[in-house]
Structure 1
Amino acid sequence: MTFSVYVHIPFCRVRCGYCDFNTYTGTQLRGFGQSEYAQVAADEVGYAASVLRDGDHAPDQVDTVFFGGGTPTMLPVSNLTMILHRIRDEWGLAPDCEITTEANPETVDAAALQELAAAGFTRVSFGMQSAVPHVLRTLDRVHRPERIPLVVQWARAAALQVSLDLIYGTPGESMADWQTSVDEALAQHPDHLSAYALIVEPGTKLARQIRHGEVAEPDDDLTADKYEWLDARMRREGFEWYELSNWARVVDDDVDRRCRHNLRYWHNDDWWGIGPGAHSHVGDQRWWNVKHPAPYAARVRAGESPEAGRETLDATARYEERIMLGSRLREGIGVAEIAAERRDELPLLAGDGLLDADALAGGRAALTLRGRLLADRVVADLIA
């Protein structure tokens, strides 16, 4: 069976104002040191392997590994390698295993990227977010725009695939600002580009700033215009969208530049999440770990499960997830997979320009560009 491993590294230099991920700066941690983390995470890998063996769910091998966060490259490469080697030793890695780490451009240099490649990493995803200084300041990003060409050059020299992550819709970001960021990203000739519309999450610094009138709310219409402009630009540059927020360069060399790990989530495959707050999914079970690193570490060291809660996915939940996740993909969902009582909605959605009429005639419900902008409406119509 296909199986993936996600490793959460919960450390950051600075907590960005828009971020609601389970991350911590050094001053926020009590009773737990960053230097201790790699061993604890490696020990959870061992615990996970024993659980899967005992439950007769042991995978043949691991096909994708993704180090995310937080900022994985806040840890020394030797720490990331320790965790990766434990994954290899417990489960084995497929010969073509995709091994990715996210990275802040300020936390890696040429030597670190060479070390990552030598350890078996195949892909690095840089958090670029924007090339415009005032936009980065609003987001509380600490890297310098001029750092991006350097880290991409170093990653290329190490033979790593390169993905760049962008955010659009930041308060105060004009269309010209967004176009500048995309231009700068594409000038680096990445293999892959992710672009996410900014979501103002409750409880974040950015949400408080908007509530107090310190910054303006994002403009939804302008945000949609930015997405449409980006999609057209990406097509001209030889990229193809494969998920709502992700584009991969298409080159005639038989190399798949999509993020295979994230495709596993969208296909609802099995994975184990390592680390505090990490989520896992195996069969009809989903569970999540305790969030704070200190109690997480205490449980793992005691040989106990770090699980905070779980749910069993019934038929209704599995159907709704299949619609929510599958509709995000370029190929869409097979009409036969949609509940019979909802299929009458499909011609109406195609008539509204939300589903591709040709794809529908071929038995698949796939979003148009307009449908991508209104994907939540499509999902609601198919699961209501």
Structure 2
Amino acid sequence: MPAQPLGQPAPLDGRIPFDSAASLQERDFSLYVHVPFCSVRCGYCDFNTYATEDFGDGVGLGSYADDAIAELEFAQRVLRESGAPERKLYSVFFGGGTPTKLPAADLVRILAKAINLFGLEKGAEVTTEANPDSVTRDDLFTLRAGGFTRVSFGMQSVVPDVLAVLDRTHTPANVPKVVAWAREAGLQVSLDLIYGAPGESLEQWEQTVRAAVSYGPDHISAYSLIVEEGTKLAAQIRRGEFAMPDEDAMADKYLLAEAIFDEEGYHWYEVSNYAKSPEFRSRHNYAYWRNQDWWGVGPGAHSHVDGTRWWNLKHPVPYTTRVRQGLSPAAAREVLSQETRRFEDIMLMLRVIDGLPVSRLVEGRQGTDIASSLDWLVGQGLIDEQALADGRVRLTLQGRLLGDAVTRELLPDLY
């Protein structure tokens, strides 16, 4: 499992140094709850997850809801004492791990406490991830009755051989069944897919994409496999058991998925995300892509408020010790410079269909330099000419394949 990033010491009282608390009213505030439990740790996964339910000393799956609630209460106190104005939650997302390893009643109880402490904006999105094998019809009805609006199922692939390479243990035939249950319960549905697993053919990827759209979800995320250092898959590739994913093959799979999604009425709104209509775009992920504020609850969870970013202790035992003592579970933090915030804004905004305002690019660079770079990118077919005429930088399909090259051209001083 990768080490945590280095940073500045995080104060045990969690106090946040706002530049201007008044400016926070203009920023959305979301909640992320990390549930670190899994039945099996997938070979490609570098998230903070554990294939155990009991760490001893009363720490584990059975106590997790109470410990998450303790951090929620700590969060409210810290924000109030730091001078933050009260803000209702713009979105809530339970991720993992496998959140539905927790009883549905526990997920509802955590959500209820969050709403009690912060409130919920009208139309707020409340999502949980779920493994297709770890959720029942009754669970989904309990979640909907408890305030959840959306469920994201980890489908990944419909091909058993591909799932085996990824160490995914769910039964592909369960996916359409749980999608139907979620629909019956009144939940929006998203499916997560992964392409580029070692040995996956273009035909197998097409089989997965066509199966996914046939289930009729509102939203689909299609992520390219990234081989992260410290994972089982990285070790297998290093030993020669598998080959590294081929970049040209990955591009072919992206283009294939794009064509099928477009044909079936799913339209891109972020490089890896597609929705049936704008109302089904992930509100929570948009908060990340727009660099808004969120508090991350749970072991290893990351938070960001007004340019201060921090990350919690990864292991559940020290994390739990801190929250039960009423102390910050943060391992470290960083206060971002204006230049870093600008760089991240540009990188993130370039990924979404709304694009990047040209005015945001001009800050810190000569207008003539920017114009030259933008003209070159249009000429290469990497950004949309009409969008540029309207004052925004929006990636073309080719630009989505070569997003890093676009960023390097626009931000040469930061590479």
TM-score by length of 1: 0.97
Contact 1:61/1:94 (<8 A) preserved = yes
Give a deviation string over 1:68-104, Cα, whole Å, max 9, x none: 0100000001111111111011101122111000000
Question: 2: distance between equivalents of 1:277 and 1:226?
Answer: 32
Aligned equivalents of 1:110 and 1:225: distance in 2?
37
2:323 aligns with: 300
Q: Deviations over 1:31-66 (max 9, x none)?
A: 422111110000100000011111121433112000
1:36 corresponds to which residue? 63
How far does residue 285 in structure 1 lie from its aligned partner after superposition? Answer: 0.8
Quote the residue 1:17 is aligned against: 43
Paired letter, 2:343: E
The CA RMSD over aligned residues, in Å, is: 1.2
Residues in 2 aligned to 1:144 and 1:178: alpha-carbon distance in whole angstroms = 17
Gaps of 5+ in 1: none
Amino acid at match of 1:334: P
Aligned partner of 1:324 in structure 2 is: 347
Structure 1 counterpart of 2:398, which letter? R
Q: Note closer, same or farther for the CA distance 1:10–1:336 as it changes in structure 2 (3 Å cut).
A: same
What is the identity, as a one-letter code, of the residue corresponding to 1:74? K
Structure 1 counterpart of 2:91, from 64, 78, 97: 64
Stretches of structure 2 that go unaligned for 5 or more consecutive residues are 1-24
Q: 2: CA distance between counterparts of 1:110 and 1:303?
A: 37
Task: Output the CA distance in 2 between the equivalents of 1:309 and 1:321.
Answer: 20
Alignment of 1:150-161 (within 5 A): 150-161=177-188
Aligned residue among 145, 153, 156 for 1:129: 156
Residue of structure 1 aligned with 2:400, choices 372, 376, 380: 372
Partner of residue 361, structure 1: 389
Amino acid at match of 1:23: T
Contact 1:323 1:382 in 2 (8 A): no
* Aligned counterpart, 1:352: 380
Q: CA deviation at 1:170?
A: 0.5
Would the aligned equivalents of 2:98 and 2:131 in 1 still touch at CA under 8 Å?
yes
Query: Could you tell me how far apart the structure 2 residues matched to 1:39 and 1:383 are?
Result: 45
Judge conservation of contact 2:53–2:61 (CA < 8 Å) in 1: no
Asked if structure 2 preserves the Cα contact closer than 8 Å seen for 1:3 and 1:59, the reply is no
The amino acid of 2:318's aligned partner reads P
Which amino acid is 1:92 matched to? Answer: G
Residue aligning to 2:314: 291
CA deviations on 1:228-269 (whole Å, 9 max, x unpaired) are: 11111111111110000000002xxxx710000000000001
**Does 1:162 find its partner at 2:185?**
no
Q: Whose relative contact order is higher, 1 or 2, with alpha carbons under 8 Å and at least 6 apart? A: 2
1:332-362: CA deviation from partner (whole Å, max 9, x where unpaired): 1011110333513111111111111111111
Contact 2:46-2:231 within 8 A present in 1 as well: yes
Q: Give the CA deviation at 1:30.
A: 5.0
Which residue of structure 2 lines up, in the alignment, with residue 98 of structure 1?
A: 125
2:243 corresponding residue in structure 1: 216
- Local SS of the residue matching 1:148: helix
- The equivalent residue for 2:283 is 260
| 1:180 aligned onto 2:212 | no
> 2: distance between equivalents of 1:28 and 1:302?
20
Equivalent pair of 2:53/2:60 in contact (CA under 8 Å): no
Q: Which amino acid aligns with 2:405?
A: R
Pairwise mapping of residues 173-252 of structure 1 onto structure 2 (< 5 A)? 173-250=200-277
For 2:31, the equivalent position in structure 1 comes to: 5
Query: Aligned partners of 1:30, 1:292: CA distance in 2, in Å?
Result: 13
Distance 1:383 1:284 in 2: 20
| Residue aligned with 2:133, SS | helix
Find the aligned partners of 1:211 and 1:307 in 2 and give their Cα distance.
Answer: 33
Tell me how far 1:219 sits from its aligned partner.
1.4
Question: What amino acid does structure 2 have at the position aligned with 1:276?
Answer: P
Choose 3-12 or 24-33, whichever is displaced more. Answer: 24-33
The Cα offsets for residues 128-175 of structure 1, whole Å up to 9 and x where unpaired, read as 000000000000000011000100010000000000000000111001
The answer to whether the 8 A contact 2:54-2:60 is kept is: no
Structure 2 match to 1:279: 302
- When the two structures are aligned, how many residues end up with a matched partner? 380
Question: Structure 1 residues 27 and 91 mapped into 2: Cα distance closer, same or farther (>3 Å)?
Answer: closer
The worse-fitting range, judged by mean Cα deviation, of 165-174 and 230-239 is: 230-239
**Partners of 1:59 and 1:170 in 2: how far apart?**
45
